[in-house]
Amino acid sequence: MATTSDQAIQREELRARAVALRAAGRTRAQIKEALGLAGDWTINELLAGAVPAGSPLRANAKDDLRLRARELRARGWTYQEIEQELGVSRSSVSLWVRDLPRAGRLSWEEARRRTAEGVERYWEREREIRRAARQEISDAAAAAEVGRLTDREILIAGAVAYWCEGYKNKPRRESNHVTFINSDPGLIRLFLRFLEVAGVSRDRLCFRVHIHESADVEAAERFWLDLTGADPGQFRRTTLKRHNARTVRHNTGADYRGCLRIDVLKSMETYRRIEGWAAGVVRGSLLPAGEDGRPVPVPVVRRSGRSWRISISGGAPSPVK
């Protein structure tokens, strides 16, 4: 009577013959007849993984993914994590790793770490999607509503921008000097255009770069010089900010170019005009509008001696009846 080891040897020899016949181009029916096999189950088991001659397929088309999936499963990854990592279906993952023992219950620290990593992966993708959507709104819709500005609108916008970002007189310090500093190239262009509309010539301007000493100072100076189109002689010595190693700075990298300060020489009159324009914008925005959209004249009541007089839109005051 044949032993179990003898049967295994005979089976391997039979499989080798079947695989050789398959590689030679024989069909399953021909192999069954040559080996004297009766059922389909036996021939299917003997030819498992064998590929016919000339076939472009491999026995295991995803064997590299299968090995990777088994490695990840051995490290305790879940089916869902393996599926997302390898980009394959859940059924494929199950087929490849279901014979491996399940990982034990995750510790609280490991579960928290994996959750944080999953959230970070999600926001890496979602952040770009949302940024693109916001950029599309600002570029396509909102910017188109403004269109080209008239000189009057540039005066209004420039005066408001200066009143937000420029140097202003204080009760304890009255300088009446126009000084504007900002890091946004677009806002710098707007302010230069505003000064041009306001009648300030370019030769009355001087510039100074303010930047951290750890940044690329020369590149920043070239950037602002090209942006303004000014003469190099109008740029004063750059002001360097001392680096503090204990400070966590986010304004770093190739896009960091510091701030540009613009000073207007002999600018007392210009400053007074800017102050008046800014005040006019505030007052004009508070006036009620008529049916035609224009501000409604607001009556101003003044006392003259023992009587009261009223004037509208700067007209001659008349007695109040």
- Is 188 strand, coil or helix? helix
Instruction: Report the alpha-carbon distance of residue 180 to residue 191 in Å, rounded.
Output: 8
Most confident of 32-41, 161-170, 311-320: 161-170
Report CA Rg, the chain: 40
Q: Tell me how long the chain is.
A: 321
Per the structure block, which two tokens stand in for 29? 């029916």
Instruction: Report the alpha-carbon distance of residue 239 to residue 236 in Å, rounded.
Output: 9
Percent of the chain predicted with pLDDT > 90: 30
Q: What is the DSSP letter of 105?
A: P
Q: What is the DSSP letter of 170?
A: B
- Is 232 strand, coil or helix? helix
Instruction: Report the alpha-carbon distance of residue 95 to residue 193 in Å, rounded.
Output: 68
**Nearest by Cα to 227 from 196, 189, 261:** 189
Instruction: Yes or no: say if 205 and 241 are a contact pair by the CB < 8 Å rule.
Output: no
- Is 266 strand, coil or helix? coil
Instruction: Report the alpha-carbon distance of residue 317 to residue 73 in Å, rounded.
Output: 91
159: exposed, middle or buried (C-beta count within 10 Å: 0-12, 13-18, 19+)?
Answer: buried
pLDDT computed for residue 321 by the predictor: 43
- What is the mean predicted confidence (pLDDT) over 179-190? 95
- What is the mean predicted confidence (pLDDT) over 197-210? 94
pLDDT computed for residue 5 by the predictor: 66
Assign 320 a pLDDT band (cuts: 50, 70, 90).
Answer: very low
Give residue for tokens 């304004």: 251
**Nearest by Cα to 318 from 306, 302, 305:** 302
Q: What is the DSSP letter of 287?
A: S
- What is the mean predicted confidence (pLDDT) over 70-80? 85
Instruction: Report the alpha-carbon distance of residue 185 to residue 228 in Å, rounded.
Output: 9
Kindly report, residue by residue over 103-162, the tens digit of the pLDDT.
666 677 877 888 898 889 888 888 888 888 777 766 667 777 888 889 999 999 999 999
Per the structure block, which two tokens stand in for 71? 């490695």
Task: Flag whether pLDDT at 250 surpasses 70.
Answer: no
**Nearest by Cα to 287 from 298, 301, 276:** 298
Q: What is the DSSP letter of 262?
A: E
What is the phi/psi pair of residue 308, to 5°?
-110, 140
Instruction: Report the alpha-carbon distance of residue 175 to residue 182 in Å, rounded.
Output: 20
Kindly report, residue by residue over 264-273, the tens digit of the pLDDT.
999 999 999 9
Kindly report, residue by residue over 295-304, the tens digit of the pLDDT.
656 555 555 5
Biggest CA pair distance of the chain: 139
Instruction: Report the alpha-carbon distance of residue 205 to residue 192 in Å, rounded.
Output: 10
Instruction: Yes or no: say if 211 and 259 are a contact pair by the CB < 8 Å rule.
Output: yes
